[in-house]
């Protein structure tokens, strides 16, 4: 499915920015001896350039400085940006901020928008999303330990979270905590509350080491303790007890964002694999790409990426036309299907490159380490498969 013709000039401009400004930053990003903070001044310059060219925050309405694209239009952009680990950050549409921006845009009060949404939309601050807890199963988010107890004009939050991505350096967290622990409907027990990171009682315990990397700043996954963290009642986001519904709402488009980013990663890995196979000699005059095994990986990868791309674009169009609820099966299908293809394509690309594939001279090893989690976050594969299969089987009863 080709991008609609009206998007082509934008995609061309984005490809140019990626080639001229973002890919040159990649070697330093991949260098394990340099942290993310080292890159920030240069990334800031690139972000300003992107703003000046009118390509900033493609997912946001124009009134907030964005490009005003629909979800299915943004899907094509996300694919392009996914070709570099820095793409989404440079254009201010990186997770978890993009999900928080969409959430705040839909549910924040005017005062919350002023304080929490607008600085995020401008790229002046970052945020994080704090739901998962080490002691409870993240795959069953209706079952949480964190509580927010009302005391006069405040919520007092206590809880233990981890994998709060990008908490290091964030200005605030969107925290999921139980406001009505005994509500009969277990999906109405929790709420979302905006908690500034400098609130007394909030401790960023550590950046959790993932596949050998703790990272820093944006590129982290934080463990956080909330110990009697007091925030005003007006920091409640959306209605009380609606935390679970809001989380579901946040995750629908979020899965399109992730899936199209994964398609972008797969395309880049595929391109690297083909370039290498077409030029690497395994014996004098004998190219790697002449080997049947390599040809098989190339053909299989091409078919799988094409199929995944069509499935995601179809789902994005369906969400735009019919809404998230009508598209929930499609969303679950793409979530596990594309994550699996991403993993297979990356694995083949690494294999084709031999030792070079596992170095940090190419982005393949970085993605292999960090995107293994694609089959876990935003709902593990098994949970998505289970919910789709249950609904399918219900039709046969
Ligand atoms: C890189 C990364 C970034 C993340 N970022 C964030 C973030 O920013 N904010 C946040 O709040 N959370 C974040 N998470 C957490 C993520 O959402 C959870 O890890 C996920 O929901 C799974 O929860 P869990 O880890 O507690 O696994 P569990 O719920 O304990 O599940 C463990 C395993 O059990 C299996 N399983 C679970 N349920 C079923 C079932 N019904 N049927 C069959 N098998 C099942 C699955 O294989 C699953 O992987 C992130 C996680 C990762 C890895």
Measured in Å, residue 165 CA sits from the centre of ligand 1 at 13
Assign 353 a pLDDT band (cuts: 50, 70, 90): very high
Secondary structure letter of residue 62 according to DSSP: G
Average pLDDT over the chain, rounded to an integer: 96
The residue to mutate among 85, 373, 376, having the most atoms of ligand 1 within 8 angstroms of its beta carbon, is 376
Mean pLDDT of 132-159: 96
Q: Which CATH class name applies to 5-108?
A: mainly alpha
Measured in Å, residue 360 CA sits from the centre of ligand 1 at 27
Tokens of 350: 């690494």
Mean pLDDT of 156-182: 98
pLDDT at 1 over 80: no
Nearest CA to ligand 1 atom 11: 131
- Answer for the pair 191, 148: CB distance below 8 angstroms, yes or no: yes
Tokens of 137: 């199963």
- Stretch (H or E) spanning 229: strand 221-232
Q: Tokens 């400004």 map to which residue? A: 21
Tell me the domain boundaries of the chain.
5-108, 127-237, 244-394
pLDDT at 250 over 90: no
Instruction: Tell me if 5-108 shares its fold with 127-237.
Output: no
pLDDT at 287 over 90: yes
Tokens of 180: 């009505």
Nearest CA to ligand 1 atom 12: 132
Q: Is 92 a pocket residue for ligand 1 (Cβ < 6 Å)?
A: no
Q: Which atom of ligand 1 is nearest to the CA of 379?
A: 21
Tokens of 111: 């005062």
* Percent of the chain at pLDDT exceeding 70: 100
- The residue among 236, 60, 98, 87 whose CA lies nearest residue 157 is 236
Question: What pLDDT score does 2 carry?
Answer: 84
**Dist CA 141 CA 7 (whole Å):** 37
Tokens of 116: 């929490």
pLDDT at 254 over 90: no
Look at residue 232 and give its three-state secondary structure.
strand
**Dist CA 331 CA 197 (whole Å):** 32
> What's this model's pTM, rounded to 2 decimal places?
0.96
Which ranges constitute the DSSP H helices of the chain? 8-17, 26-30, 36-52, 71-81, 87-90, 97-107, 110-112, 118-122, 243-279, 292-322, 328-353, 364-370, 381-394
Q: Which atom of ligand 1 is nearest to the CA of 161?
A: 11
* Strand ranges, E, within 80-220: 127-130, 147-151, 154-165, 172-178, 190-196, 202-207
The residue to mutate among 380, 381, 382, 384, having the most atoms of ligand 1 within 8 angstroms of its beta carbon, is 380
**Dist CA 58 CA 335 (whole Å):** 22
Q: Which CATH class name applies to 127-237?
A: mainly beta
Question: What pLDDT score does 263 carry?
Answer: 97
Question: What pLDDT score does 277 carry?
Answer: 98
- Answer for the pair 168, 224: CB distance below 8 angstroms, yes or no: no
Beta-carbon neighbour count of residue 183 at 10 Å?
13
**Dist CA 248 CA 330 (whole Å):** 14
Question: What pLDDT score does 216 carry?
Answer: 96
Q: Does domain 244-394 have CATH number 1.20.140.10?
A: yes
Nearest CA to ligand 1 atom 21: 138
Cα dist from 393 to 128, 175, 311, 336, 386, whole Å? 37, 35, 21, 19, 10
Beta-carbon neighbour count of residue 289 at 10 Å?
18
**Dist CA 127 CA 276 (whole Å):** 39
């Amino acid at each position: 499915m080709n991008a609609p013709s009206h998007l082509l000039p934008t995609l061309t401009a984005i490809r140019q920015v990626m080639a001229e400004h973002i890919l040159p930053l990649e070697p330093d990003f991949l260098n394990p001896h340099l942290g993310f903070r080292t890159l920030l001044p240069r990334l800031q310059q690139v972000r300003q350039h992107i703003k000046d060219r009118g390509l900033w925050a493609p997912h946001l309405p124009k009134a907030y400085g964005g490009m005003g694209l629909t979800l299915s239009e943004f899907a094509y952009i996300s694919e392009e940006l996914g070709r570099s680990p820095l793409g989404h950050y440079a254009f201010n549409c990186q997770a978890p901020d993009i999900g928080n921006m969409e959430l705040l845009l839909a549910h924040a009060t005017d005062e919350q928008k002023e304080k929490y949404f607008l600085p995020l939309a401008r790229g002046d601050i970052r945020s994080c999303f704090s739901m998962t807890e080490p002691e409870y199963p993240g795959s069953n988010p209706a079952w949480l330990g964190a509580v927010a107890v009302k005391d006069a004009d405040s919520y007092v939050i206590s809880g233990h979270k981890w994998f709060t991505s990008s908490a290091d350096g964030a200005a605030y967290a969107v925290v999921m905590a139980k406001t009505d622990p005994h509500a009969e409907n277990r999906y109405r027990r929790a709420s979302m509350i905006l908690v500034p990171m400098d609130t007394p009682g909030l401790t960023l315990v550590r950046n959790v080491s993932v596949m050998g990397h703790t990272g820093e700043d944006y590129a982290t996954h934080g463990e956080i303790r909330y110990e009697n963290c007091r925030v005003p009642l007006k920091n409640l986001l959306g209605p009380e007890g609606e935390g679970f519904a809001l989380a579901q709402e946040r995750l629908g488009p979020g899965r399109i964002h992730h899936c199209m980013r994964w398609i972008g990663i797969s395309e880049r890995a595929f391109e690297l694999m083909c370039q290498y196979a077409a030029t690497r000699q395994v014996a004098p005059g004998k190219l790697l790409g002449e080997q049947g095994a390599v040809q098989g990986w190339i053909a299989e990868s091409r078919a799988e990426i094409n199929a995944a791309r069509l499935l995601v674009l179809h789902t994005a169009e369906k969400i735009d036309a019919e809404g998230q609820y009508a598209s929930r099966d499609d969303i679950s299908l793409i979530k596990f299907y594309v994550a699996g293809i991403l993993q297979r394509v990356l694995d083949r690309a690494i294999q084709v490159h031999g030792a070079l594939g596992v170095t940090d001279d190419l982005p393949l090893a970085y993605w292999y380490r960090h995107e293994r989690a694609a089959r876990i976050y935003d709902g593990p594969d098994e949970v998505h498969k289970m919910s789709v299969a249950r609904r399918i089987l219900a039709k046969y009863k």
